[in-house]
């Protein structure tokens, strides 16, 4: 249960505020409704445990103040500029029937069941929180969107969210988008089958062998023609033999 112990504080100076913080407490104030603002202090240790939880600013907390309980809604947490430790909290009184404005976080479920995400789609979250106006006793802890069956190109709009009849978005007059499932920015090219690569490699090898065979044949032909020409040239250069007088007779 979200319950915090609180004490009433009567400080009137900055020095007294610093003393409260030095004692390990955080000054806070409760406002809203017809009652006057109430100054309190809370243990920093326990407060930090609540702040670290998800949805702290949209969760109703019960404060036990000197034996009396008061339901409140955290509205703002102020931090120290150097230490980043909480040093002040504003709480709004939660009164039955009174509507308040509150930002509710958006959660997504069934990522593994989305065909669009399986194909490499990207979930583009336009609004991580949606501001609602609702009675304090009907504040939803979150808005849950189911990705089961959602494909690329589909989107979630506020009209697709089931809300209580007394719970309404503060943005009226348009069906605003909460998230879309977009196509991947880089499309992967399909890989070529290994058989085609092998066929191409075979054709290349056959082409190379044909070229080598053709070159060899051309070389043999050139060599044969060269030998023939050399023989002819050699025959032309032989000296003409002169016949002796006896042969002439």
Q: Quick one: how far is CA 229 from the chain centroid?
A: 81
Query: Do 8 and 89 belong together in one domain?
Result: yes
CATH number of domain containing 164:
2.170.120.20
State which of 182, 202, 234 marks the end of a domain: 182
- pLDDT of the residue at 181: 96
Mean residue pLDDT of the chain comes to 81
Query: Do 84 and 7 belong together in one domain?
Result: yes
The C-alpha atoms of residue 69 and residue 165 are separated, in whole angstroms, by 29
- pLDDT of the residue at 237: 47
What distance separates the 2 farthest-apart alpha carbons in the chain?
163
Task: Report if residue 159 sits inside a domain.
Answer: yes
- pLDDT of the residue at 248: 43
Phi, psi of 75 (to 5 degrees): -110, -30
Confidence (pTM):
0.62
Query: Do 173 and 107 belong together in one domain?
Result: yes
Query: Do 52 and 118 belong together in one domain?
Result: no
Q: Express each pLDDT in 31-47 by its tens digit.
A: 988 889 999 999 999 99
Query: Do 12 and 57 belong together in one domain?
Result: yes
- pLDDT one digit per residue (tens) for the chain, 249 residues: 589 999 999 887 888 998 999 999 999 999 988 889 999 999 999 999 999 887 788 888 999 998 899 999 999 999 999 999 999 999 999 888 888 889 999 999 999 999 999 999 999 999 999 999 998 888 888 899 999 999 999 999 999 999 999 999 999 999 999 999 999 876 555 556 665 544 444 444 444 445 455 544 555 555 455 545 554 444 554 444 444 444 444
Task: Report if residue 202 sits inside a domain.
Answer: no
State which of 182, 197, 219 marks the end of a domain: 182
Task: Report if residue 153 sits inside a domain.
Answer: yes
Enclosing domain of residue 151: 100-182
Task: Report if residue 192 sits inside a domain.
Answer: no
Which helix or strand (DSSP H or E) is residue 132 part of? strand 129-135
Give how many domains the chain has, as a whole number: 2
Q: What is the dihedral of CA 99, 100, 105, 106, to 10 degrees?
A: 40
Query: Do 9 and 82 belong together in one domain?
Result: yes
């Amino acid at each position: 249960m979200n319950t915090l112990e609180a004490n009433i504080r009567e400080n009137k100076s900055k020095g007294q505020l610093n003393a409260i913080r030095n004692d390990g407490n955080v000054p806070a104030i409760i406002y809203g409704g017809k009652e006057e603002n109430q100054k309190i202090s809370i243990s920093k240790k326990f407060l930090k445990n609540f702040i670290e939880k998800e949805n702290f600013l949209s969760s109703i907390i019960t404060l036990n103040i000197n034996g009396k309980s008061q339901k409140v809604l955290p509205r703002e947490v102020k931090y120290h500029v150097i230490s980043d430790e909480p040093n002040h909290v504003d709480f709004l009184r939660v009164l039955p029937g009174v509507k308040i404005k509150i930002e509710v976080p958006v959660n997504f479920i069934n990522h593994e069941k989305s065909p669009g995400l399986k194909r490499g789609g990207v979930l583009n979250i336009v609004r991580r929180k949606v501001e609602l106006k609702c009675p304090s006793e009907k504040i939803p802890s979150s808005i849950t969107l189911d990705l089961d069956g959602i494909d690329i190109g589909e989107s979630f709009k506020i009209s697709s969210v089931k809300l209580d009849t007394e719970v309404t978005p503060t943005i009226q007059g348009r069906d605003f988008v909460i998230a879309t499932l977009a196509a991947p920015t880089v499309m992967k090219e399909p890989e070529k089958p290994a058989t085609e690569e092998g066929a191409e490699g075979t054709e290349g090898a056959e082409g190379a062998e044909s070229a080598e065979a053709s070159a060899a044949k051309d070389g043999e032909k050139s060599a044969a023609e060269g030998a023939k020409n050399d023989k002819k040239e050699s025959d032309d250069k032989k000296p003409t033999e002169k016949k002796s007088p006896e042969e002439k007779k």
